[in-house]
């Protein structure tokens, strides 16, 4: 039996170093100084004006682009002043931009701005800049800035293009509605948890319907739904989330949303730490370690902790490797929530067999070889080989079988399955840490696999798959000896 273990809180990671601090300036109605009349200066004048600044441009020669911006400014006024800048021009300015070809001129401007206490940027000359302009995704009031610290502007533009494609233009309307409704939500008499629920409903609806402009009817409906919950809105909730087999890119969008809204995350040892990077930074992260045959938290302790946190009004995410509904004890945790009157939901994940098969490029239900896919656990509650395995199904040549938690009992399982008719030449694979960068595999006929696995001592978690649909893996001479492929009777 495994040693008992207590939940451990994972300390919040320190933020990694930032090359630049992203700051969003409030420039509405404020004065900006711009020196230079080039096309590059015109673009900066347009940005400043769009942010609401009144831009005074000092230049003896002005480009056509800059004249056009001044004639049709997107926001604040753009005033052209036909002379060179002077130190007195920085008075009352909140920001200064310079467009100079010559470093000497750039330094004079930068030094003067700094003496006046005005943050300064000189276009394309980072040595003279207090701040930089990044690539911008504009769904105002939703605004995203992207910076590579000047290292790769083209890369930043490419990232911006991807974000532009991901973020519908309609998000601008929803962000504007959020600003419009914020005071009304506060005045609606909702408790803190009710206001949080309102914004959860708002966000879910905005993400699902970005092109539908928000209306006062939407506001009234969200308020009514929150008030209709009554005392339940003060209660917490539990969400069982499948973390997938390891690769964080295999998380579902719904799983990411759950992680980003959680107050507390209870996670297992088998959950990839990269997955936790998607969690809300402020969330508490508690390791409720459950490892095969190692020190583990008791399931009843996990249930009690989960329920206790939810009763405190917390949004609890129970994060499990793979899919919580496949050998994840989800039933016991759902029963605990139901008995305590706690709202619970499930976010399914990609189970290890799917992830491993995808990484190996093999179909688990190839119609030439398999008519059934089955998932089998390698050990029972007592840690030994289950005594209720359907051995005839395991020996069926037209079946692909995935065996979870197989390491300690694989030898006994294979011995019994061979005695029940399993062909020892059946192709099989043991996959460790499926989908992760350090994934490793053993390919062998099933009769040889237990000895090969014991010798290799692969790091966990390990999954074993067997069936004639895996035959192509063995036929690759770089992976192991060839094994004959057998078509199922159903498809021959």
The two beta strands, 427-432 and 440-445, are: antiparallel
* Mean pLDDT computed over 256-275: 88
* Mean pLDDT computed over 259-282: 87
* Residue 60 shares a structural domain with residue 76: yes
The answer to whether position 196 is within a domain reads yes
Instruction: Judge residue 414's burial from the number of C-beta atoms within 10 Å of its C-beta, 0-12 exposed, 13-18 middle, 19 or more buried.
Output: buried
* Residue 193 shares a structural domain with residue 252: no
Chain centre distance of CA 236: 23
* Residue 330 shares a structural domain with residue 421: no
**Counts for the chain of helices (H) and strands (E), in that order:** 16, 20
The answer to whether position 391 is within a domain reads yes
Global pTM value: 0.66
Residues 6+ apart with CB under 8 A from 441: 360, 429, 430, 431, 432, 479
Q: Is the pLDDT of residue 61 over 90?
A: yes
CA distance 436 to 358: 12
* Residue 261 shares a structural domain with residue 328: yes
Task: Mark whether 290 is an active-site residue.
Answer: yes
Q: Provide the residue count of the chain.
A: 492
* Residue 179 shares a structural domain with residue 298: no
CA distance 271 to 287: 10
CB 472 within 8 A of CB 362: yes
The answer to whether position 15 is within a domain reads no
pLDDT band, very low/low/confident/very high, at 5 (cuts 50, 70, 90): low
Catalytic, out of 197, 285, 290, 320: 290
* Residue 203 shares a structural domain with residue 162: no
- Determine how many CB atoms are found less than 10 A away from the CB of residue 252: 15
* Mean pLDDT computed over 299-313: 90
* Residue 294 shares a structural domain with residue 361: no
Chain centre distance of CA 110: 41
pLDDT band, very low/low/confident/very high, at 290 (cuts 50, 70, 90): low
* Mean pLDDT computed over 11-21: 76
**3-class DSSP state of 224:** helix
- Quick one: which of 370, 315, 304, 289 has its CA closest to 339? 304
The answer to whether position 70 is within a domain reads yes
The answer to whether position 20 is within a domain reads no
* Residue 302 shares a structural domain with residue 375: no
Q: Any idea what the CATH number is for the domain that residue 437 is in?
A: 3.30.950.10
At residue 275, what are phi and psi to the nearest 5 degrees? -65, -35
Q: Of 300, 327, 350, which residue constitutes the final position of a domain? A: 350
* Residue 313 shares a structural domain with residue 264: yes
Helix (H) / strand (E) containing 257 = helix 253-261
The answer to whether position 244 is within a domain reads yes
* Residue 251 shares a structural domain with residue 324: yes
42-64 in b/e form (b: 16+ CB < 10 A) is: bbbbbbbbbbbbbbbbbbeebbe
Identify whether 18 is preceded by a cis peptide bond (ω within 30 of 0).
no
Q: Of 324, 350, 376, which residue constitutes the final position of a domain? A: 350
* Residue 252 shares a structural domain with residue 374: no
pLDDT band, very low/low/confident/very high, at 118 (cuts 50, 70, 90): very high
Q: Of 166, 192, 220, which residue constitutes the final position of a domain? A: 166
* Residue 46 shares a structural domain with residue 153: yes
CA distance 334 to 80: 68
Instruction: Judge residue 241's burial from the number of C-beta atoms within 10 Å of its C-beta, 0-12 exposed, 13-18 middle, 19 or more buried.
Output: buried
- Domain tally for the chain? 4
Identify whether 141 is preceded by a cis peptide bond (ω within 30 of 0).
yes
Radius of gyration of the chain (CA): 31
Which one is predicted more confidently, 4 or 47? Answer: 47
The boundaries of the domain holding residue 376 are 353-475
- Quick one: which of 163, 166, 177, 237 has its CA closest to 206? 177
Q: Any idea what the CATH number is for the domain that residue 334 is in?
A: 3.40.1010.10
**3-class DSSP state of 466:** strand
308-346 in b/e form (b: 16+ CB < 10 A) is: ebbeebbbbbbbbbbbbbbbbbbeebbebbeebebebeb
Residue that is written with structure tokens 């004959």 in the block = 484
Q: Is the pLDDT of residue 12 over 80?
A: no
CB 281 within 8 A of CB 300: no
Catalytic, out of 56, 105, 218, 268: 268
Q: Is the pLDDT of residue 299 over 60?
A: yes
Q: Any idea what the CATH number is for the domain that residue 152 is in?
A: 3.40.50.720
CB 78 within 8 A of CB 70: yes
At residue 417, what are phi and psi to the nearest 5 degrees? -65, -40
pLDDT digits (tens, 9 = 90+) for 162-171: 888 888 889 9
């Amino acid at each position: 039996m495994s040693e008992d273990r207590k939940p451990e809180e994972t300390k919040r990671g320190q933020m990694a170093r930032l090359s630049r601090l992203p700051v969003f300036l409030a420039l509405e109605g404020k004065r900006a100084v711009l020196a230079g009349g080039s096309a590059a200066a015109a673009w900066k004048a347009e940005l400043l004006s769009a942010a609401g600044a009144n831009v005074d441009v000092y230049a003896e020669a002005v480009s056509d682009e800059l004249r056009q911006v001044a004639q049709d400014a997107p926001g604040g006024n753009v005033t052209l002043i036909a002379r060179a800048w002077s130190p007195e021009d920085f008075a009352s300015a909140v920001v200064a931009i310079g467009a100079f070809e010559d470093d000497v001129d750039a330094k004079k401007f930068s030094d003067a701005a700094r003496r006046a206490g005005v943050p300064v940027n000189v276009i394309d000359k980072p040595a003279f800049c207090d701040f930089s302009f990044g690539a911008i995704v504009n769904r105002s009031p939703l605004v995203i800035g992207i910076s590579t610290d000047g290292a790769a502007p083209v890369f930043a533009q490419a990232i911006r293009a991807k974000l532009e494609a991901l973020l519908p233009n309609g998000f601008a309307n929803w962000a504007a509605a959020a600003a419009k409704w914020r005071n009304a939500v506060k005045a609606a008499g909702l408790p803190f948890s009710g206001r949080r629920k309102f914004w959860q409903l708002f966000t879910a609806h905005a993400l699902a319907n970005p092109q539908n402009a928000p209306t006062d009817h939407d506001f009234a409906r969200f308020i009514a739904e929150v008030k209709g919950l009554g005392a339940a809105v003060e209660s917490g909730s539990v969400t069982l989330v499948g973390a997938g087999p390891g690769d964080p890119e295999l998380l579902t969008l719904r799983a990411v949303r759950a992680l980003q809204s959680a107050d507390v995350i209870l996670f297992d040892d088998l959950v990839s730490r990269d997955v936790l990077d998607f969690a809300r930074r402020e969330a508490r992260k508690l390791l409720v370690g459950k490892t095969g045959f190692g020190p583990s938290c008791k399931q009843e302790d996990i249930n009690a902790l989960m329920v206790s946190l939810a009763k405190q009004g917390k949004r609890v995410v129970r994060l499990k490797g793979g899919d919580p509904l496949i050998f994840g004890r989800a039933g016991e945790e759902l029963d605990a929530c139901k008995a305590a009157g706690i709202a619970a939901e499930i976010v399914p994940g990609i189970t290890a067999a799917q992830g491993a098969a995808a990484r190996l490029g093999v179909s688990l239900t190839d119609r030439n070889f398999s008519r059934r896919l089955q998932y089998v656990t390698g050990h029972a509650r007592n840690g030994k080989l289950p005594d209720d395995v359907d051995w005839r199904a395991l020996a069926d040549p037209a079946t692909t079988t995935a065996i979870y938690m197989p390491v300690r009992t694989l030898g006994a399982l294979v011995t019994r399955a061979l005695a029940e008719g399993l062909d020892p030449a059946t192709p099989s694979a043991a996959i460790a840490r499926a989908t992760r960068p350090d994934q490793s595999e053993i390919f062998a006929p099933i009769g040889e696999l237990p000895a090969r696995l014991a010798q290799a001592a692969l790091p966990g978690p390990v999954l074993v798959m067997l069936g004639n649909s895996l035959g192509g893996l063995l036929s690759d001479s770089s992976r192991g000896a060839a094994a004959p492929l057998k078509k199922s009777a159903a498809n021959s």
